[in-house]
Amino acid sequence: MYKAKAYSAASATSPLASAEIPRRDATERDVQIDILYCGICHSDLHTVRDEWSGVMPTTYPCVPGHEIVGRVTAVGPAVTKFKPGDLVGVGCLVDSDHTCPNCKADVEQFCNNAIFTYNSPDRHLGGITYGGYSESIVVDEHFVLRVPANLDPAGVAPLLCAGITTYSPMRRWGDLTGKKVGVVGLGGLGHMGVKFARAFGAHVVVFTTSPNKKEDALRLGAHEVIVSTDPEEMKRQAGTFDFILDTIAAEHDINAYIAMLGLDGEITLVGAPEKPLPVSAFALLFGRRSLSGSLIGGLKETQEMLDFCGQHNITADVEIIPIQKVNEAYDRLVRSDVKYRFSIDMASLKAE
């Protein structure tokens, strides 16, 4: 075991502050990683502030961060896929039972014994797992991902959550070439949804409540932008979409977007509103439409996503910050004051 510098929260009302945390020495199948960048996900903020206490209560101290890119510094003797110096990533998962049907089907995120990168039981050291707001991390080889060398590491970090969260449901839907795809919301998730849908060959339409986002949506790859508060705009395109990705985490009228779907159309939720959304059965029945949800992706699919990003030169749009500005970044995140994801330069932690 060794000590690593990190930023942690001592309680739901405490700011993130400099701390030292334990990390295990690399065991037989482990990869030790010097963290270069860590993205800030809205889940980090929810967990730090214990806003999901009814479902996933936070154990303190809490070190968040599950969008990690770094360099391998050491590997265990049984590791075959990585060597020191490799550029790698770690996402939302660091372990699972490896034996259940979901693990065997490469959807480890649905394993009943999945271990998340932070705020999960730590099987090695006891206590809980600590995330990527730290100088290093030690992870089982199976949960380490290879990062394409041609991509900017700071922009890759958010792909480990925002990227796979939006890539997975689109890829699972099928061939989107020539299909009409809607993306609801243009934030951290939505901007990745636009980039992927465009790369998949779809006709991409962004739904937004903010008319001033139109120019940016088009820059990111959208063909059209619909201001969802304009009833005439919504009416004109009702019943014409094949697939819609709903990235909104706040309360909103899901039926307005279900009405946008054509016959056999599907809308997938990747945002997680705190309160249940009322759904009209008739909106689904008339049109044989489907409403589904999606949660990140398994390790095989996440590697596929990273490789796809390497081939198409896709990264997240990021604002790089030092770790010392993380509390300010959280406040800005609440105000949606970022285009479109924060990426922490972890070299700044060495100054602590």
pLDDT tens, 4-36?
999 999 999 999 999 999 999 999 999 999 999
The torsion of the CA quartet 77, 83, 88, 93, rounded to 10 degrees, works out to -10
From the list 299, 262, 297, 301, the residue with the least C-alpha distance to 283 is 262
Give me the mean pLDDT over the 142-168 stretch: 98
Q: Is the pLDDT of residue 275 over 90?
A: no
Q: Is the pLDDT of residue 352 over 80?
A: no
C-alpha 89/C-alpha 267 separation (Å) is 29
CATH class of 162-293: alpha beta
User: What is the model's pLDDT at position 155?
Assistant: 98
pLDDT level of residue 338 (50, 70, 90 thresholds): very high
- Which pairing describes strands 2-8 and 17-23: parallel, antiparallel, or unpaired? antiparallel
pTM for the full model?
0.95
**Mean per-residue pLDDT over the chain, rounded:** 96
| Domain ranges, ordered by start, for the chain | 2-161+297-351, 162-293
Q: Which runs of E-coded beta strand occur in the chain? A: 2-8, 17-23, 30-40, 68-75, 87-90, 93-95, 115-116, 136-140, 145-146, 180-184, 203-208, 224-227, 241-246, 261-269, 290-293, 318-322, 341-345
Q: Is the pLDDT of residue 259 over 80?
A: yes
Q: Is the pLDDT of residue 54 over 90?
A: no
Tokens of 231: 């009833």
pLDDT level of residue 273 (50, 70, 90 thresholds): confident
**Topology, domain 2-161+297-351:** Quinone Oxidoreductase; Chain A, domain 1 (3.90.180)
Region of 313 please: left (phi>0), alpha (psi -120 to 50) or beta.
left
From the list 328, 331, 327, 324, the residue with the least C-alpha distance to 347 is 324
C-alpha 61/C-alpha 8 separation (Å) is 6
204-242 pLDDT, tens digit each: 999 999 999 999 999 999 999 999 999 999 999 999 999
Assess whether the region 2-161+297-351 and the region 162-293 belong to the same CATH fold.
no
